Chains A and B, each alone.
Chain A
Amino acid sequence: MPNRLAPDFDYEAALKACAAGRRPALEALYRQEGPRLLGVAQRLLRDRAWAEDIVHDAFVKIWNQAGSFDAGRGSGRGWVYSITRNLALNALRDTARETGVDEDTAAALDARDAIEAWHDTRDAFDWRASAGQIGPCLEQLEPVRRNCVLHAYVEGLSHSEIAQRLGAPLGTVKAWIKRSLQALKECLA
């Protein structure tokens, strides 16, 4: 894998320095995570320039809100990714690209499609190499449920977009995702 993280990067110290107004700390964070954050945003938004806008806004927000980061609540790295993902997801949902998929999908697809989708055991993502500690828990999900989770988290697809992609009824996809999250939570506990 290219672009491996510098393993000893201290995210919490960098955020603390940002809160103290030390710009080089933000730049170090940008050098460390900029390409990965841009990769995450671009995968969600499918638009390079838009993704760069998000990363711009994310670093401005990280700088302005570093003082509110609480190391007792979660990791500094997780906080940085959450800021970026939330900006990207808000932008994605606010543009409301959803067409009438809900009704169309619900009307056009029936239980037979659900069963066919269920038997689709191919992986849509090459997740084994990079999923880290959540990997064994993903392994326990049926491929179709695993794909639902990854389409949502990695690609930012809504329930109805996933339903359309998989050719499965909307309600079924919602249930799969809900149960998959519960299974992941139990597995990671």
Chain B
Amino acid sequence: MTAPQATPDSLDDLAGEYVLGTLSAQARREVQARLTHDAALRAAVTRWEERLLPLTNLSSPVDPSAGLWPRITRTLDGKHSQHQPSAVRRGPGLWDSLRFWRSLAAGGMAAALILGSTLALRPATVPGTPQYVVVLVAPQSQAPGWVVQAQAGQNTVQLVPLAATEVPPDRALEFWTKADGWAGPVSLGLVKPGEPVRIPLDKLPPLEPNQLFELTLEPKTGSPIGKPTGPIQFIGRAVKML
């Protein structure tokens, strides 16, 4: 292979696939880094953007919710603390996002503190039965919001609030879990903010280490499609207690 990136054709192929959207996350980052200093690539990308632009007409317009423009102006006015790109904070794939879990690890100190206090307070357990604790933290601030406790033999989990959770009047908090091998998250029902609740895990397999739990904002009666549709409010993984 003789420096394939040097030929005009391969540069244009790269630009075309970039604009088409087929490049992997890593390849996209590489192209975006190169665009800051590579004028030829930048020109090729712009040409492809113009060529393919008419295809955006194939997506039907969707009226933005009434709150979107005010939200944009609030951000521009700096009423939020530092602007953070909100789109990276969640999405359907967050369950599997390594990047997200790495970022959560940074919040491990808060989680460890909570875990420590929970350990100190926990009731005596039957020796030999594994017990799990999950600290659910807010994705952005990583502030702990809820603790999930589960004792293997009992097939229920207890969800305990640690802080006030604000939920808009027309929305509800829905509780979900997903173990590593499962195809998707399973709903554990709606949860009232600020109230502890004990939830049976009737038909679910026994809890596993690393099993995910999350609370998402959903319509009043819960997600209409049986999968999370709204933003994640709190999320965490099950940790086995010794």
Checking A88, A134, A158 against B54 with a beta-carbon cut-off of 8 angstroms, the contacting residue is A134
Q: How far is the CB of A157 from the nearest CB of chain B, in Å?
A: 8
Select the residue from A39, A51, A87, A158 with max chain B CB neighbours within 10 A.
A39
Say whether B16 contacts A133, CB under 8 Å.
no
Question: A78 on the interface (CB 8 Å rule)?
Answer: yes
| 0/1 string, A141-169, CB within 8 A of B gives 1 | 00000000110111010110000000000
In whole angstroms, what is the CA distance A96 to B59 when docked? 23
Number of interface residues of A (CB under 8 A): 75
Task: Report B-chain residues with C-beta under 8 Å of the C-beta of A75.
Answer: 50, 53
Q: Given A23-B73, A73-B46, A77-B53, do A149 and B61 touch, yes or no (CB 8 Å)?
A: no
Which parts of A33-69 form the interface with B (CB within 8 Å)? 34-36, 38-40, 42-57, 59-60, 63
Shortest beta-carbon distance, B232 to chain A, in Å? 10
Give bound CA distance, A3 to B56, whole Å. Answer: 13
Neighbour of B90 across the interface among A38, A48, A50, CB < 8 A: A50
0/1 interface trace, chain B 89-132, chain A, CB 8 Å (1 if under):
11111101111000000000000000000000000000000000
Within 8 A of A (CB), among B188-216: none
Quick one: which of A30, A86, A95 contacts B91, CB cutoff 8 A?
A: A95
Please tell me if the beta carbons of B53 and A78 are within 8 angstroms of each other in the complex: yes
In the bound complex, do residue A94 and residue B57 qualify as a contact, i.e. CB atoms below 8 Å apart? no
B residues less than 8 Å from A149 (CB atoms):
20
Contacts of B99 on A, CB cut-off 8 Å? 94
User: Hey, which chain A residues are within 8 Å of B90, CB to CB?
Assistant: 50
The 28 listed contacts between A and B (C-beta, < 8 Å) are A35-B63, A42-B59, A42-B62, A46-B92, A47-B91, A48-B229, A50-B90, A52-B64, A52-B68, A55-B68, A57-B85, A57-B87, A74-B46, A77-B53, A78-B50, A89-B28, A91-B87, A93-B24, A94-B97, A96-B96, A97-B93, A127-B58, A134-B52, A154-B55, A154-B59, A158-B22, A159-B22, A188-B51
13 additional contacts (CB under 8 A) given A43-B59, A74-B49, A153-B52: A35-B63, A38-B61, A51-B62, A57-B85, A74-B46, A75-B50, A90-B25, A93-B23, A95-B93, A96-B25, A97-B92, A185-B12, A185-B16
